[in-house]
Structure 1
């Protein structure tokens, strides 16, 4: 049985080859009913586009480059899922470029690298547009930021200031001394993200309004061992105080909150009584472990960022757009 072609799809759907091509490229100039007919024909025939033929025909790579800090955290796995779901619907592939350190960023700032041979560019968490401009690097592809806000590019972002405010307002109602753990925000001292700075600002503002303050603050990198070491140091300090327990800890990421929960249990402390813990993310495991946390729709944020970029690839030439997502508090046993 021969492999179906785009001509077969067109004949099966009763449309022209050009219409099928526009559907495959997610072009806006296709009526919804026609799009559904073509998609059904594609499914009926089990048709798979030839990416090489598409590149030759349209001068496109049908690839989107994604620059993101790391690959190993649950947050970025969820973010990539949201991005990939949207781009796969439009038949684009993702090329992932983790930054990790200075040498990688320097390499990505060279315009000849693979990152710029894609049709579009997604920057996650870190806004590199300023660095690009300083290096006079003119990126020809449409660019969108996700998990970050900027005035001069399309972006899909979380309102972390509101999230921090919600965490602070709730923490202020709980008994005992207050503590906070923050994620280090600089990657190799080269560029920064405002995500945790905004969470911290909102948290402190809410505490101040309630007449409360934190006893001490700690920092940890996005690393499981570092998070556990910080949890150990924090609970050691609390235990050394005459009236250390009960206490409440706001951990600005669920990774840190999980390490605190583990360390508290090892010490025989009762979560929700001796130690109350508030996280931020609502990772998939948070509900099962009873973690009070700020839920953020990470996948939806990624999906929306992809839609913004796809609209640019489809011909939108308007001003930059910003899609704002807001976290909400979910109270569980840990507090």
Structure 2
């Protein structure tokens, strides 16, 4: 299509005109809405292909009263766990032609900023909260987002959620650790965000682990706490080895902590799997290469399922809250 000497990009109105439907129908096809009949969908898709139309998010917002954007509130974006979680979320949302806007909480000041309804986080069509359930805080601030919301890597009554059964994961780690010789130790995770509101992820891992040891009659000789900062994790690993009686077994409740412990063990010339046995939690992509015994989490699948729950709400589901539970499994390797 040419206006003067300038080629004009086809618009959603052009697609609707060529397909013989309304703009709203084109918008629903672009959003993969299930209400569009097969023959109508095919006609719209054919018009899109013939015109070489590329959807414009702003035009789609104007046409359909939607932003076609999903906001994701998550603690950080730099750890492997959240990179994998975002992969699962984005794969599902992009397949449904939604863009993803990422809002890392990071610290107290940024959280405070996100708790205002005027922020960009609440101008999307839907909201994903990862690990931390902010719904109660939003209610306290009387923030009326009007958006469908889903929790991922977290569970709460009355909210759609896809979550890992961390208590079972901790129990599996504890049952296996109880079969190994030597004193038993554990490293837990705490971040600044934990001081602002509760996440049950590591609390549940600890609960399952401690209960399994108690059932097996094995004491826990020492507990340590670290953040996700690599230097802090290495410092805690050094402190644990300074205090431990060897041989020993350590449950590091996240692979990042387990990796720091492996590094410290190697630096001291100790033998992994003999002097120090290490059990992690996550099964990150590098875990197999480092021969780390760990709890495998289907992180990407959990993210994909959470996205599906939210897309269902956006597609018209008005039923009760749904919960999708995922269970870790123990992968035994040379570190333990």
Normalised TM-score (structure 1): 0.91
Q: Does the alignment pair 1:82 with 2:82?
A: no
Change (3 A) 1:32 1:160: farther
Deviates more, 1:68-77 or 1:247-256: 68-77
Unmatched segments (≥5 aa) in structure 2? 2-6
Q: Does the alignment pair 1:264 with 2:265?
A: yes
Change (3 A) 1:33 1:76: farther
- Spell out the pairing of 1:27-42 with structure 2 (5 A cutoff): 27-31=33-37
Q: Which residue of 2 aligns with 1:53?
A: 59
Whether the 8 Å contact between 1:185 and 1:196 is mirrored in structure 2 is: no
Cα drift, residue 101 of structure 1:
1.5
* Whole-angstrom distance in 1 between the partners of 2:234 and 2:276: 16
Q: Does the alignment pair 1:123 with 2:120?
A: no
Cα drift, residue 21 of structure 1:
2.8
Q: Which residue of 2 aligns with 1:241?
A: none
> How big is the alpha-carbon RMSD for the aligned residues of Structure 1 and Structure 2?
2.2
Q: Does the alignment pair 1:329 with 2:330?
A: yes
Cα drift, residue 36 of structure 1:
7.0
- Spell out the pairing of 1:104-143 with structure 2 (5 A cutoff): 104-143=110-149
Q: Deviations over 1:16-44 (max 9, x none)?
A: 45554322112121356875786677568
Whether the 8 Å contact between 1:181 and 1:249 is mirrored in structure 2 is: yes
Change (3 A) 1:173 1:44: farther
Whether the 8 Å contact between 1:176 and 1:247 is mirrored in structure 2 is: yes
Change (3 A) 1:45 1:281: farther
1:195 aligned residue (193, 201, 211): 201
Whether the 8 Å contact between 2:12 and 2:59 is mirrored in structure 1 is: no
* Whole-angstrom distance in 1 between the partners of 2:38 and 2:213: 51
Cα drift, residue 297 of structure 1:
0.7
How many residue pairs are counted as aligned between the two chains?
Answer: 329
Whether the 8 Å contact between 1:185 and 1:192 is mirrored in structure 2 is: no
Cα drift, residue 124 of structure 1:
0.6
* Whole-angstrom distance in 1 between the partners of 2:294 and 2:67: 40
* Whole-angstrom distance in 1 between the partners of 2:178 and 2:41: 53
Deviates more, 1:129-138 or 1:43-52: 43-52
Unmatched segments (≥5 aa) in structure 1? 239-243
2:216 aligned residue (210, 229, 243): 210
Change (3 A) 1:212 1:33: farther
* Whole-angstrom distance in 2 between the partners of 1:175 and 1:37: 68
Q: Deviations over 1:262-315 (max 9, x none)?
A: 110111111111111000000010011110000001111111111111111111
- Spell out the pairing of 1:160-309 with structure 2 (5 A cutoff): 160-184=166-190, 186-187=192-193, 189-238=195-244, 244-309=245-310
